[in-house]
Amino acid sequence: MKPLQILVALVSMSSIGSSTARFAVLVCAAQAGASPATVGLLAALYAGVGSLASVPAGRLIDRLGVRSPLLYGAALLAFGVSLGAIWRGMPMLVAVIALSGIAFHVMIIAFGRLAGDLATPDRRAEAFGMLGFGYSISLLAAPLIAGFAIDLIGFTWSFVLFALIPLGSLMMVYTDCLPWSPPAAARSAASGHGSRDDQATAAHPPHSGALGLLRSPALRRLWACCTAFEAGWMGFTFMLPIVGTQLGFSASRIGLVAGAAGFMLFLTRACMTPLLRRFTPWQLLIAGLAIGGAGFAGLGFAENFLWMVACAGLIGLGQGACSPMVTALIYENAPAHEKGEAIAMRTMISSASQCSAPLVAGAISSAVGPMPVFLGLAMGMIGTAWSSRARARGRGKKS
């Protein structure tokens, strides 16, 4: 197998391990009689602790490389998930969700850095598309694995099973199945030759930090794009059960609407390589924002099942294009010695959206109904796409 294919397998395995554990924790808390607010706080905790750990983890990865953080991240993930098999009181569920959140967010940043390092500049966007495909496999598989495991073998053995999955990731990292440092970077560090990025890394330029990354116009634009589509995706996953229930849909119909979004996301990422042969990353990112915004605008007026399925499909299609392209562009535009930290900031924005979007959407929906939420998300995504349209025409790819 090629290194990128091995990386996709590693990403899928790790993501399934984390997602199945999170699913089991939330279901366990709900079945134990926890209030919806408590379950919501557990879900927010997963993203919140990951957000706090993201930037320090990115700096660590920039200094140490990806192997050690991946190794310890996989070990911490396996340990955290295994705690659920020992005792499932609320304190232990908090520990499981917090440890798995920290561990997997560290791994996400390392995966992003490694995908960029393994690919040549002309194949970098394709590499991040493949990385996104690995996450989309987990998006489809993890709920099915977790749900059937809990029903068939119970929570205790399910947590044991879910802890074995990141142990597989740990073994893949421990056995060095991937080239952790690009040969060109190693040569340039030793001899001063190689690509411009490699030479900059070898020279150890001054560290500008998170505020320094915000001074780049291209990165500021990418942070805005990331915020728009991440808030949209989390708003969709939070509001869908509420709107579906208000329209009288059964749980299975609500699941089918969510499945339409997941299927289109999976399909888009599966087609990313041929799409990148025809379009630039900026074009795909801006098109994804516009398509997703159109889906949210349609949801604001949804009154029947098929209409919601169509709108959800548009949202999944947009999300499938946006996420890998924004990561690829962040890697491309970040300084060579701070690429890990830049990817960490992208992860932090994603995690912050997972925490804040449900709270804001819930408050607005409770006050004035769901339509303003969907229309507001549509305006944010379409507005961001419109303000970024010059980049889709090829003006200043790096500026």
**How far apart (Å, rounded) are the C-alpha atoms in residues 274 and 253?**
33
**CATH among 1.20.1250.20, 3.40.640.10, 3.40.1710.10, 3.30.450.90 for 209-392:** 1.20.1250.20
Q: 354, 351, 342, 256: which is closest to 62 by C-alpha?
A: 342
Taking the C-alpha atoms of residue 328 and residue 342, their distance in angstroms, rounded to an integer, is 11
Q: Which pLDDT belongs to residue 205? A: 52
Asked if pLDDT for residue 251 goes beyond 50, the answer is yes
Task: Tell me what pLDDT residue 202 has.
Answer: 46
**Quick one: 371 exposed, middle or buried, by C-beta within 10 A (0-12, 13-18, 19+)?**
middle
Instruction: Name the one residue in this structure whose structure tokens are 């449900």.
Output: 358
Mean pLDDT is lowest, of 61-65, 291-295, 391-395, for 391-395
Neighbours of 141 (CB within 10 A): 15
Q: How far apart are CA 238 and CA 377, in angstroms?
A: 13
Give the model confidence (pLDDT) of 304-354 as tens digits: 889 999 999 999 999 888 888 888 888 887 777 777 777 778 878 777 777
> Two tokens at 18?
């984390």
What is the spatial distance between Cα 231 and Cα 265, in angstroms, rounded to a whole number?
16
pLDDT for res 398: 42
Question: For residues 158 and 154, what is the distance between their CA atoms, to the nearest angstrom?
Answer: 6
**Cα–Cα distance for residue pair 68/57, rounded to 1 Å:** 11
- Looking at per-residue confidence, does 399 or 214 come out higher? 214
Determine the pLDDT at residue 259.
78
Averaged confidence pLDDT in the chain: 80
Sign of the Cα torsion 95, 235, 258, 263 reads: negative
In which band, very low, low, confident or very high, does the pLDDT at 211 lie, cut at 50, 70 and 90?
low
User: What pLDDT does 181 receive?
Assistant: 52
Higher pLDDT, 181 or 316: 316
Written as six digits, the tokens of 210 are 């998170």
Residue 392 has what pLDDT?
Answer: 60
- Is 4 strand, coil or helix? helix
pLDDT of residue 289: 93
Is residue 189 scored above 50 in pLDDT?
A: no
Where does residue 143 rank: exposed (0-12), middle (13-18), buried (19+ CB within 10 A)? middle
CATH class of 3-175: mainly alpha
% pLDDT > 70, the chain:
87
Distance CA 277, CA 349 (A): 29
pLDDT mean over 203-219: 61
- Among 92-96, 123-127, 177-181, 394-398, which is the least confidently predicted range? 394-398
Assign 88 to helix, strand or coil.
coil
Give the Cα separation of 36 and 27 in Å (integer): 11
pLDDT band at 160, cuts 50/70/90?
very high
Residue at token pair 């977790």: 146
pLDDT of residue 393: 63
According to the model, what pLDDT value does residue 184 have? 35
Banded model confidence at residue 186, pLDDT cuts 50, 70, 90 = very low
In this structure, the number of other CB atoms found within 10 A of the CB of residue 274 comes to: 10
The model's pLDDT over 25-66, given as tens digits with 9 standing for 90+, comes to 877 887 787 776 677 677 778 878 877 877 788 878 878 888
Q: Using pLDDT thresholds of 50, 70 and 90, give the confidence band for residue 1.
A: low
pLDDT of residue 330: 84
The CA distance from 149 to 227, in Å, is 34
* Averaged pLDDT, 115-143: 80
Res. 207 pLDDT band, cuts 50 70 90? low
Q: How far is it, in rounded angstroms, from Cα 195 to Cα 120?
A: 11
Q: Give span(s): CATH 1.20.1250.20, the chain.
A: 3-175, 209-392
pLDDT of residue 317: 92
- 159: buried, middle or exposed (CB in 10 Å: 19+, 13-18, 0-12)? buried
Residue 294: pLDDT over 60: yes
CA distance 69 to 62: 10
Rg value, the chain, Cα: 21
